[in-house]
Amino acid sequence: MSAQAARSHMSIGEVLGLLQAEFPDVTISKIRFLEGEGLIEPERSPSGYRKFTHLHVEQLRFILREQRDHYLPLRVIKEKMAESFGRPHAVQEIHETRLSRAELLEAAELDEETLAELEDYGLLAPVARRYDEDALKIARSIGAMARHGLHARHLRAVKAAAEREAGLVEQAVAPILKRRAPGAIGEADEVARELSEHLLELHEALLRTGVRGVLGR
């Protein structure tokens, strides 16, 4: 067994290396797509990096074989995984975060005035009077920045930049969706996820560069 395989946790690149001998067409984007569909659920490091175990590798092999050999849809594969792997947490249905206004205020440690300001500037909005996980992340982030003097009104440019980046993703996936071929939606979703991650990495790198310039480094 290789040194990589002997470790209890692996990166997504190491997992890809273990799979490519049997599945030469598998990509990092494909693994991320299967994660997004709830078929696997790697842990995350404090910095956000995925941490895979050997169970995740076996689950991925199972999924890829079922797709390659039997052409099964993911919904059916998920049920077969539940039978084969004893319904681990990684293949259970994912319940989305749905918070009331009071619950969001408590979870994000915000006051009503700050939340109202976030909504006034279009930084978040409830759906059917409930707030999802992204709304909670936005509220927490802006609440933390408010302690350093940055408030919702200062962050309109950040929202505008995010909307422009979403427009780039839309531009890239539009030709895929127009084909209306079988699997086009899944392919578009996979491409959108991959581009989103690249844009996040690019934004992070550019921000670090900009901050170093501010600090004169």
pLDDT of 47 reads 63
What confidence category does residue 1 fall into, taking pLDDT thresholds of 50, 70 and 90? very low
Q: Is residue 91 predicted with pLDDT exceeding 50?
A: no
- Residue 180 phi, psi dihedral angles, 5° rounding: 50, 30
Is residue 198 exposed (0-12), middle (13-18) or buried (19+ Cβ within 10 Å)? exposed
The reply to whether 56 and 100 lie within a common domain is no
The reply to whether 124 and 47 lie within a common domain is no
The reply to whether 141 and 179 lie within a common domain is no
For the segment 108-123, what is each residue's pLDDT rounded down to a tens digit?
888 999 999 999 999 9
Domain count across the chain: 3
* Domain limits for position 195: 156-217
For the segment 149-185, what is each residue's pLDDT rounded down to a tens digit?
998 889 989 999 999 999 999 999 999 888 877 777 8
The reply to whether 81 and 17 lie within a common domain is yes
The reply to whether 82 and 11 lie within a common domain is yes
Which residues are CB-neighbours of 208 under 8 A, at least 6 positions away? Answer: none
pLDDT of 79 reads 84
For the segment 43-81, what is each residue's pLDDT rounded down to a tens digit?
887 667 788 999 999 999 999 998 888 877 788 888 888
Q: What is the four-CA torsion angle of 14, 15, 18, 19, rounded to 10 degrees? A: -140
The reply to whether 123 and 195 lie within a common domain is no
Name the CA radius of gyration of the chain, rounded. 20
| Domain-ending residue, one of 111, 130, 150 | 150
The reply to whether 11 and 84 lie within a common domain is yes
Query: What is the biggest distance separating any 2 CA atoms in the chain, rounded to whole angstroms?
Result: 58
The reply to whether 187 and 204 lie within a common domain is yes
